[in-house]
Amino acid sequence: MSDNKPNKVMALYNKVTRLPFGKRIFSLMVSRMAPYFATVKPQVTDLSLNRCELMIKKRKAVQNHIGTVHVIAICNGLEMAMGAMAEASIPKHLRWIPKGMSVDYTAKAGSDIRCVAQVTPEQWQEGDMLVDVKAYDSNDVVVVQGTIKLWISLKPTK
């Protein structure tokens, strides 16, 4: 971002996470903005410029027929991590919208899952932008990796 003042999402995260259960409260707030995210009960564990990390607990509601975390639940977590990162990081004169997601399943997801979305500051330019997303099990093995494609454009002038 061109100035050092955090945008509304980053400022909210910084404020709320100072409270007891602050990360859980922030995660619920983000899930209310896009209610489908709440289906996996994600918890944002770290949000900084150009990076977001969240956890999905392995529980019956997110498991598939073989008892691992279902890849669609993981994709849901990756998309929430991307969205929180984008909202907290995008330069003020730009806006974003997702265009697609491409992922590979690289290992069984047999534990709680850590979802990470990350970009570099230089990527915030008009046009297509690929956000690197990875999901890790509790042993730091990558279980899903890929990209979420965003369309970055100028905000309309008011």
pLDDT for residue 107? 97
What is the signed CA dihedral for 74, 80, 85, 91, rounded to 10 degrees? 140
pLDDT at 3 over 70: no
* DSSP string over 57-87: ---GGGB-TTSSBPHHHHHHHHHHHHHHHHH
Tokens (6 digits) for 120: 């570099």
pLDDT band at 104 (very low <50, low <70, confident <90, very high): very high
pLDDT band at 1 (very low <50, low <70, confident <90, very high): very low
Q: Are 148 and 130 in contact (CB under 8 A)?
A: yes
31-90 pLDDT, tens digit each: 888 888 989 999 999 999 999 999 999 999 999 999 999 999 999 999 999 999 999 999
Closest Cα to residue 9, out of 48, 37, 40, 39?
Answer: 48
Please give the mean pLDDT across all residues of the chain: 94
pLDDT at 2 over 50: no
Amino acid at 76: N
Alpha helices in 17-70 (DSSP H): 22-33
pLDDT at 4 over 70: no
CATH number for domain 8-154, candidates 3.30.300.130, 3.10.129.10, 3.40.50.1100, 3.40.50.2300: 3.10.129.10
Give the side-chain half-sphere CA count within 13 A for 58: 18
Distance (Å, whole) CA 139 – CA 107: 12
Amino acid at 128: D
Q: Are 131 and 147 in contact (CB under 8 A)?
A: yes
The DSSP 8-state label assigned to residue 99 in this structure reads E
Tokens (6 digits) for 84: 């929180």
Whole-structure pTM value: 0.93
Least-confidence region, from 29-33, 58-62, 132-136, 137-141: 29-33
